[in-house]
A = this chain, B = another copy of it.
Amino acid sequence: MPGQQTRTTIADVAKEAGVSVSTVSRALRGLDKVNPDTRARVEAAAEKLRFTFSKTASSLASGKAMRVAVLLPNEINSWFNANTFEGVYEVLSREGYDVVPYVMWEEDDLARFLRTLPGTQNFDAVIVVSFILDRAQRAFLDTLTIPMVGINVPSTEGFDATVRIDDEAAMHGVVRLLRSLGHEAIAYVEQPVQPSPFTCSDSVRMDGFLDAAAREGYDEEHILTIPSLSRLGSEDEEEAQESVGGEAAAISGIAAQLVGAICRPTGICVENDRCAVLLLKELRRLGWRIPEEVSLVGFDGDSVGDVVDLTTVRQNPLQLGRAAAGKTLALMRDEPLDEPHTVAPTSLLMRATTSRLSSGRTLAA
């Protein structure tokens, strides 16, 4: 049990190598203008003393935190968030940056986080994922001096760079597909149980669907929407449980709405694959023949869909994350960005949960 072992500092190395601290700093950081011999001596001393820099001290002295914050809604562990984060991590960690996740549970968390941003150099950049910022917040971002990069944020305003997919266009593609398959009544299903009372940019998908449906000539009677429970203002706090029970119940509730609909939809689009596969299972259990009588389309390209060959809209959050990180890197280095705001592609993956509806064939009432 040795006493409070005082950490070895750059000064110890300097003494050991017989040079000044500034020389040690230069040598160990690989800067030029250091005599090779000196450098070798310093490195040997550092090695011998098992010295490594204190990031904290370096940060304070240099003004660069070597740290970027990633703001995520609800959880780090959803398919989209986790993949996005991984992409960001991949690029930034390689360049020596720490990538620190911050999960926002309620609107207030975001506001609070943003408030801590100005004035102090805690981060070299902030990457914001999927949040819908109000006008005031976006204006506020403009006052900040560090790079702010958005991923799937509805507006580019306030951001130095953004990367996103085009949800509207993707939904339009889905609606066109359903129409071309002969579906005259369609439905959009949102993820029933939101993990927290946050409105994030997934919610633009439903609008995109409705917009596309209108353009494709569907009238109100032939469009069914099943919004998430939280949208309905159900304030049951029980719902945000970990237990899958709530989710299973919610899924069967959705299935019931679908089955009991006045104008029963035969073309269904679900907000994400995770939800879609559960609904698929439930609907089949209730006797719906998919894809013979009903077509189901997911969204994401999550591997859960592979097992059941779910037709879906694929996106690549890993790439989204990488792209955002690349832009962040450039911005931190004051390099010019040829295209600050980019749109990443999505693609319709046709698999086994969609098929042409035989004309004249209708579901029994």
Contact = CB atoms under 8 A, between A and B. Distances in A.
A77 B100 CA distance: 15
A52 B115 contact: yes
Interface stretch (A24-32, A55-63, A254-262, A337-345): A55-63
A129 to B, nearest CB: 14
Contact of A122 (B55, B117, B307, B318): B55
B60 A56 contact: yes
Given A59-B56, A93-B103, A119 B307 contact: no
A296 to B, nearest CB: 13
A13 to B, nearest CB: 10
A216 to B, nearest CB: 31
Contact of A57 (B60, B82, B145): B60
Nearest to A12: B119
Given A51-B119, A54-B121, A93-B103, A281 B304 contact: no
A126 interface: no
Contacts of A103: 89, 93
A311 interface: no
A53 B307 contact: no
A277 B119 contact: no
B306 A308 contact: no
Given A57-B60, A76-B82, A101-B101, A277 B307 contact: yes
Contacts of A57: 60
Interface string A209-243: 00000000000000000000000000000000010
Interface residues of A, number: 53
A244 B305 CA distance: 13
A36 to B, nearest CB: 23
Given A76-B86, A89-B101, A119 B56 contact: no
Interface in A76-96: 76-77, 82-83, 85-86, 89, 93
A120 B53 contact: yes
B65 A56 contact: yes
Contacts of A303: 244, 274, 304
A54 B120 contact: yes
Contact of A101 (B60, B99, B118): B99
A278 interface: yes
Contact of A77 (B55, B82, B121, B244): B82
Contacts of A99: 100-101
Given A77-B83, A85-B77, A89-B103, A7 B121 contact: yes
Contacts of A7: 118-121
A141 B337 CA distance: 44
A168 to B, nearest CB: 27
A307 B304 contact: yes
Nearest to A318: B242
Interface of A: 5, 7-9, 49-57, 59-60, 65, 75-77, 82-83, 85-86, 89, 93, 98-103, 115-122, 145, 242, 244, 274, 277-278, 280-281, 303-304, 306-308, 318
The 7 closest A-B pairs by CB, nearest first: A54-B120, A77-B86, A52-B116, A56-B59, A77-B82, A7-B119, A8-B119
Given A56-B65, A76-B82, 19 more contacts: A5-B145, A9-B119, A50-B118, A51-B119, A52-B115, A52-B119, A53-B120, A55-B122, A76-B86, A77-B82, A77-B85, A82-B82, A93-B103, A99-B100, A99-B101, A100-B100, A274-B303, A278-B306, A278-B307
